[in-house]
Chains A and B, each alone.
Chain A
């Protein structure tokens, strides 16, 4: 663990009225790491993401993005954060370029610099030729690529992905998984990827298993397998989530 992780979560709890959605959640994600947040539906992944993105606020616990506390210093923390939400958030009636310029403006990036970065990111995603098209004309996979390009425009230290492959076909899914892993290998960035699809995990990833609002396991893939005495991630996941249900 580095002293200044890209994301640090300490004893975070959150409840909807009497219903606890998160209970004492703590974990770190370091730069260069791809952390997979694995959990069944209703595990608390979306609540956790809403707290990290400051759409919600919790009185219990702390969230720090690149060292900035989201509660006391939200501007600096959000400036270091790129997000791809589960639900598409592009404006369908605007072009790819207009959507990206809008995002750049919200992050205070000047027109000239924004044009340069948009070109770079779209080329990286193989979407540069589609820049003038309306988002409505793009398929689901291409829209996701634009959202990733958008999330990276302001050069964040942490990229959050909330089940971004939902609804994509197999080749688009694979391309996305490979691309994001490539980012952590080459860029100065950490990734937190929420999913419930085990085949999206690479062997070198860090695993965080969330179930019923609690972190059931956190560590490298071999560490999690060893602690659960299992041989595959699927088996480990089953064991951890079943044990809780039985309890």
Chain B
């Protein structure tokens, strides 16, 4: 297999994913409506009840809308990661996953390409959300819109890898509701997306600990700091570690001799 072969396959997989994304306009709109509802309705309603003290990376008192914007960027990516997972399960049920898996490149590479394609889509969604937020009056420093890009890519990869791992476990599309209840909601609510860690600690030490160990918390913090032109090393390392773990587990999950593919009791 030559380098050109790898590049062509990457182009083919990402191209297909983008084409599918363009064809599914409803998916794009609903991915945007969700965080915008939180921003326009939830944040506006809670503006006066939830006071946020001055905490890094902010240097002054901020409105609640400003605080939750990075969390909502994380939400866009979390849902996109799960959406990719859903489409992997769909591809498997429809059989098109087989086309990918019987091609002659290593499986880890094919899955990484698939992951990168999903991240490209989530980054586009995140920037459209940032544009609408900007029009609404939530402005980050101009350079922040550039420095947030690597953070969005890394957090998108981590959440996409989690989605990939979940898709190797989920047998049927119907089981996906469980993912919503047991993965997406706990990850989102037990994080710094909606409230800072010290606020959670005031209410419950247990919830504070759980939020600390939640990789989504660190993805959100990475995005938050990057949007304000700062680098959060701890958040970056934890997000990287979670990415490595989820991706390795997903590759094992899709490995024909070790993974879940053949434990399902027969060919499908």
Contact = CB atoms under 8 A, between A and B. Distances in A.
Interface of A: 16-17, 21, 46-47, 49-50, 53-57, 59, 74-79, 81, 83, 85, 87-91, 93-94, 98, 101-110
Interface of B: 1-2, 4-6, 8-9, 11-13, 15-16, 19-20, 23, 94-96, 98-106, 110, 255-257, 261-262, 265-267
Contact of A108 (B1, B102, B262): B1
A104 B102 contact: no
Contacts of B95: 85, 87-89
A16 B105 CA distance: 27
A76 B1 CA distance: 8
A108 B2 contact: yes
A87 B96 CA distance: 9
A168 to B, nearest CB: 17
A12 B229 CA distance: 59
B210 to A, nearest CB: 37
A94 B262 contact: no
A85 B101 CA distance: 13
B4 to A, nearest CB: 6
A16 B6 CA distance: 34
27 contacts: A16-B265, A17-B265, A50-B262, A55-B98, A55-B261, A56-B267, A57-B257, A75-B104, A77-B104, A79-B104, A83-B98, A90-B96, A91-B16, A91-B96, A93-B23, A101-B12, A102-B15, A102-B16, A104-B12, A105-B13, A105-B15, A106-B9, A106-B12, A106-B13, A106-B104, A108-B9, A109-B8
Nearest to B23: A93
Contact of B4 (A77, A85, A108): A108
A103 B99 contact: yes
A106 B98 CA distance: 12
Given A81-B102, A102-B16, A47 B267 contact: yes
A47 B261 CA distance: 12
Contacts of B5: 107-108
B256 A55 contact: yes
Contacts of B6: 108
A106 B107 CA distance: 12
Contacts of B16: 91, 94, 98, 102
Contact of A106 (B100, B262, B265): B100
B44 to A, nearest CB: 38
Given A57-B255, A89-B96, A108-B8, 17 more contacts: A16-B265, A53-B101, A54-B102, A55-B256, A75-B106, A76-B104, A78-B103, A87-B95, A89-B98, A89-B99, A91-B16, A93-B20, A105-B8, A106-B99, A106-B103, A108-B5, A110-B8
A71 to B, nearest CB: 8
Contacts of B23: 93
B152 to A, nearest CB: 26
Contacts of A87: 94-95
A107 B19 contact: no
Nearest to B12: A105
A79 B102 CA distance: 9
A56 B12 contact: no
Nearest to A52: B102
Contacts of A108: 1-2, 4-6, 8-9, 104
Nearest to B24: A93
A109 B105 CA distance: 13
B262 A57 contact: yes
Contact of B267 (A50, A74, A105, A110): A50
Given A75-B105, A106-B100, A56 B262 contact: yes
A56 B261 contact: yes
A191 B170 CA distance: 34
Q: Which of B15, B99, B265 has the most CB of A within 10 A?
A: B99
B94 A89 contact: yes
B11 A105 contact: yes
B255 to A, nearest CB: 8
Given A93-B20, A102-B16, A107 B99 contact: no
Contacts of B1: 75, 108
Contacts of A94: 16, 19-20
B217 to A, nearest CB: 36
A26 B5 CA distance: 33
Nearest to B5: A108
Given A55-B98, A55-B256, A106-B12, A98 B19 contact: yes
Contacts of A110: 4, 8
Contacts of B20: 91, 93-94
Contacts of A56: 256, 261-262, 267
